[in-house]
């Protein structure tokens, strides 16, 4: 049997503590199409943030310029449910964010191309901006000039660190119900609401998220380590890193590995440990916030197979919501 081309969407919401809000979001993720599978839910209480990973088929039609995927409707539904359930104005957490739904990214899987996923992402971005009235910024292959995620975040003030290492309330830089944003969005209104903020949405090749704990309450020291680890600070190529408070009296170096086949978690781990020792600190064992690309494909196909088998007996199959790699 030939494996289908797949599209993956990672979606991050600025809430990790309200059971009612998270229940509404997860119900929306399961509501729209049996071929859309929620393969991972990663809850981080310290960050007050949850990451969801959704996967579905991607179908190409010569008569249409845009690939068809039930993921388009599913992601729109999840974003709508999250915006209704989460109030950014009441949010507080140790991770920076720009919106109640902070970040949405599409990745190609199982033979799909980045170009196909980019077209899907652009359509979803237009749906969200225009129909849900949230300023939506595109990046990566979904943006006509290939703007990077870090670039648009930097323009919007995402990396401006508060003194107590806790982000509270609405947008970090600019943007209220009456103040225009410093950069015009690609879709949606020019002024965000304080309760919803803005949304950043893109399409890229696969990205691994890998975080390394450092046993210290000195967040500034961990930020210095993160700066030296990141490519921007002269460190590892294709690695983006932030130093963030995480848990009671702890911190971590949170990394995006943009080319994990070339520069992976092992190299990040080694460098963080070495830099931590230089400052008299102890780094713990790092962890991924999602499954590997290969395992996600396997889980999706396994889930569809189980659904087909169970449906033949007239029952509904349960959904997978694992939260470890």
Question: What's residue 178's pLDDT?
Answer: 55
Say what percent of the chain tops pLDDT 90. 77
User: Is 95 considered catalytic here?
Assistant: yes
Q: What is the pLDDT of residues 269-283, one digit of tens each?
A: 999 999 999 999 999
User: SS in 3 state form for the chain?
Assistant: CCCCCEEEEEEEECCCCCHHHHHHHHHHHHHCCCCCEEEEEEEECCCCEEEEEEEEECECCCCCCCCECCHHHHHHHHHHHHHHHCCHHHCEECCCCCECEEEEEEEEECCCCHHHHHHHHHHHHHHHHHHCCCCEEEEECCCCCCCCHHHHHHHCCCCCCCCCCCEECCCCCCCCCCCCCCCCCCECCCCCCCCCECEEEEECCCCEEEEEEECCCCHHHHHHHHHHHCHHHCCCCCEEEEEEECCCCCEEEEEEECCCCCCCHHHHHHHHHHHHHHCCCCECCCEECCCCHHHHHHHHHHHHHHHHHHHCCCCCCCCCCCCCC
Q: Which residues of the chain have pLDDT under 70?
A: 1-3, 32, 62-65, 172-178, 308-325
Residues 32, 33, 91, 95: which is the catalytic one?
95
Question: What's residue 60's pLDDT?
Answer: 76
Question: What's residue 201's pLDDT?
Answer: 98
- Domains of the chain, earliest start first: 6-203 (3.30.990.10), 208-288 (3.30.70.670)
């Amino acid at each position: 049997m030939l494996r289908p081309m797949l599209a993956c969407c990672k979606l991050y919401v600025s809430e990790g503590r309200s059971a009612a809000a998270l229940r509404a979001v997860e119900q929306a993720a399961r509501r729209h199409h049996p071929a859309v599978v929620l393969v991972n839910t990663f809850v981080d209480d310290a960050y007050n943030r949850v990451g969801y990973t959704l996967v579905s088929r991607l179908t190409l039609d010569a008569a249409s310029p845009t690939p068809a995927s039930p993921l388009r409707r599913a992601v729109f539904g999840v974003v709508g449910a999250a915006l209704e359930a989460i109030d950014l104005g009441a949010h507080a957490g140790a991770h920076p964010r720009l919106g109640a739904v902070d970040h949405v990214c599409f990745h190609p899987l199982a033979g799909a191309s980045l170009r196909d996923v980019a077209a899907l992402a652009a359509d979803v971005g237009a749906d969200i901006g225009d129909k849900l009235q949230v300023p939506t910024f595109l990046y990566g292959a979904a943006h006509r000039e290939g703007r990077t995620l870090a670039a648009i975040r930097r323009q919007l003030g995402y990396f401006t660190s508060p003194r107590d290492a806790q982000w509270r309330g609405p947008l970090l830089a600019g943007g209220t119900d009456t103040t225009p944003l410093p950069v015009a969005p690609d879709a949606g209104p020019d002024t965000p609401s304080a309760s919803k903020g803005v949304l950043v949405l893109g399409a890229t090749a696969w990205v691994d998220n890998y975080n390394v704990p450092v046993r210290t309450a000195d967040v500034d020291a961990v930020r210095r380590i993160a700066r030296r680890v990141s490519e921007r600070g002269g460190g590892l190529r294709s690695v983006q890193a932030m130093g963030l408070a995480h848990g009671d009296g702890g911190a971590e170096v949170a990394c995006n590995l943009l080319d994990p086949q070339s520069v992976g978690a092992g190299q990040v781990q080694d460098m963080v440990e070495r830099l931590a020792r230089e400052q008299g600190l102890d780094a713990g064992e790092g962890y991924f916030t999602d499954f590997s690309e290969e395992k996600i494909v396997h889980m999706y196909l396994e889930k569809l197979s189980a659904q087909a088998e169970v449906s033949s007996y007239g029952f509904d199959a349960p959904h997978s919501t694992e939260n470890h790699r």
